[in-house]
Amino acid sequence: MGKEFSLVLEEEQEDNMNGTSYLSVEMMKKVSYMAAPMVAVSVSQCLLQVISMVMAGHLDELSLSGVAIATSLTNVTGFSLLVGLAGALDTLCGQAFGAEQYGKIGSYTYSSMLVLLVFCFPISFLWFFMENILKLFHQDPLISKLACKYSIWLIPALFGYALLQPMTRYFQSQGLVLPLFISSLGALCFHIPFCWLLVYKLRFGIVGSALSIGFSYWLNVFLLWIFMRDSALHHEMSNLRLQELISSMKQFITLAIPSAMMICLEWWSFEILLLMSGLLPNSKLETSVISICLATSTVHFLLVNAIGAAASTYVSNELGAGNPKAVRAAVNSAIFLAGVAATISSISLYSYRRSWSYIFSNEREVAHYTTQITPILCLSIVVNSFLAVLSGVARGTGWQRIGGYASIGSYYLVGIPLGWILCFVLKLRGKGLWISILISSTLQLSVLAFVTFFSNWEEEATKARARVFEMTPQVEGKQNTQNILKEDTQVLLNDASETV
């Protein structure tokens, strides 16, 4: 199934791509058609935890506090880590699909499942002692107890999520978004009445809200497995050998660790800044405003992250296929779409800067403070729009290590220390914290933009195919044979020309 990457193929691809400009309308349509359902997929998966927290919050204020803290901590210590590790599949599966090495897609997917399941055990152990951890940070004993209880009953959801992430990347790498859309929407439609049944009718309380997430994740996994079993690649996946799994596992871990750094370090930095807002004199006001800004930024991120996921898919596919010109078209098209989304979102938010915060709170003080931060939030939305797309490009290309180092430098060497200075030394309070977020994101964007715009896509295509065909001995033999045939053909042509 593999097609060799040769000079002949490159010349054919150049001829085929002559009608494709660096800002291709056709490529923009492809990215848009994939990004639109991916938004629904991301929103559906995100709403599972939100709905459970809302239903638990209607029990009493103590339940809301416990579930809210548990949700935040489980996301930071568990779910974000699984998302970060699975980001390696954006590179591996996407490039393997582009190179038509379909068997490798299965080996990468199954090996990643095994690795993620192994990571679930130490995470579960940590969740079992969540109460003791919260007490170390002087949290309320009752809230800590409820948060720990919720976290323990959320462990089945963690294992389901460990399978869900690789399966999502499996379909995404092939551009098959319809199975993802149907399964995630089906899980959400099941989750709403089932959570209500467990929490209120069966009186399971917060235990029911946690269990419902687990059932919904596993339902999503089951639906995706049905689609996967009936897919054209399932036959390729059924003949995997142990040696292939071990080899794929090594490749996966090599990319998964920096991928987790790239995603998790950024995610965790926002939680740290939120905790810092709780140290301010009027902590209730400051935390409320920062939380509102984070929630708004997260909603917008779901949109642009879908564009980034589409960009990651097309970049990895075209690199694996050896089409550097198509890669440029995909990158530029995704950046253009991110610019459109950023412009619409920031202008809309700034136009309603005096009223949009009332969606979250009826307090005038909160609304007035949020109005002051809105211009900074709008700039942050613009930066994060491009950052989401370039992060997708980085995952599709295999630049996770660069992204990880950029996250460390931007957020932990610059952002968080600067946030402390602006917030507590210069007395800018929450506004200073959000300025530090903007500066950190801008630094990370600058690094990824520099790498993207000055990269040699021809070399990246060669690296991608070398990665895909690693541990595949027959490839080298075929390439040597092809080179010999090309040399023999050239000799014959020269002899013929001399004879004439």
Q: Could you state, in chain order, the average pLDDT of each consecutive group of 10 residues for the chain (500 residues)? A: 38 41 74 89 88 84 82 90 94 91 89 95 94 82 89 96 95 91 95 94 92 96 91 70 83 92 88 82 82 86 91 92 90 93 94 86 86 93 94 93 93 93 90 92 95 92 86 42 40 41
CA distances from 2 to 101, 195, 457, 479 (A): 5, 47, 20, 11
Roughly how many angstroms between the first and final C-alpha of the chain, as a whole number?
40
pLDDT computed for residue 359 by the predictor: 80
- Please report whether residue 495 resides in a domain: no
- Give the whole-angstrom CA distance, residue 216 versus residue 184: 9
Q: Are 242 and 387 in contact (CB under 8 A)?
A: no
- Please report whether residue 387 resides in a domain: yes
CA distances from 123 to 12, 116, 342 (A): 50, 11, 36
- Please report whether residue 429 resides in a domain: yes
pLDDT computed for residue 238 by the predictor: 66
pTM, full prediction:
0.85
User: Which residue reads 């930066």 in tokens?
Assistant: 383
Closest by alpha carbon to 363, among 286, 432, 306, 254? Answer: 286
- Please report whether residue 211 resides in a domain: yes
pLDDT computed for residue 237 by the predictor: 67
- Give the whole-angstrom CA distance, residue 94 versus residue 319: 9
- Give the whole-angstrom CA distance, residue 299 versus residue 277: 21
3-class SS letters over 12-43: HHHHHCCCCCCCCHHHHHHHHHHHHHHHHHHH
What domain range is 337 assigned to? 21-468
- Please report whether residue 481 resides in a domain: no
pLDDT computed for residue 475 by the predictor: 37
CA 233 to chain centre: 24
pLDDT computed for residue 23 by the predictor: 63
DSSP letters for 269-334: HHHHHHHHHTTSTTHHHHHHHHHHHHHHHHHHHHHHHHHHHHHHHHHHHHHHHT-HHHHHHHHHHH
- Please report whether residue 487 resides in a domain: no
DSSP 201: I
Q: How many CB atoms lie within 10 A of CB 29?
A: 11
- Please report whether residue 342 resides in a domain: yes
User: Which residue reads 């991110």 in tokens?
Assistant: 338
pLDDT computed for residue 6 by the predictor: 35
Number of domains in the chain: 1
Name, in order, each residue with C-beta under 8 angstroms of 465's C-beta and a sequence gap of 6 or more: 5, 95, 99, 319, 320, 322
- Please report whether residue 135 resides in a domain: yes
Q: Are 440 and 414 in contact (CB under 8 A)?
A: yes
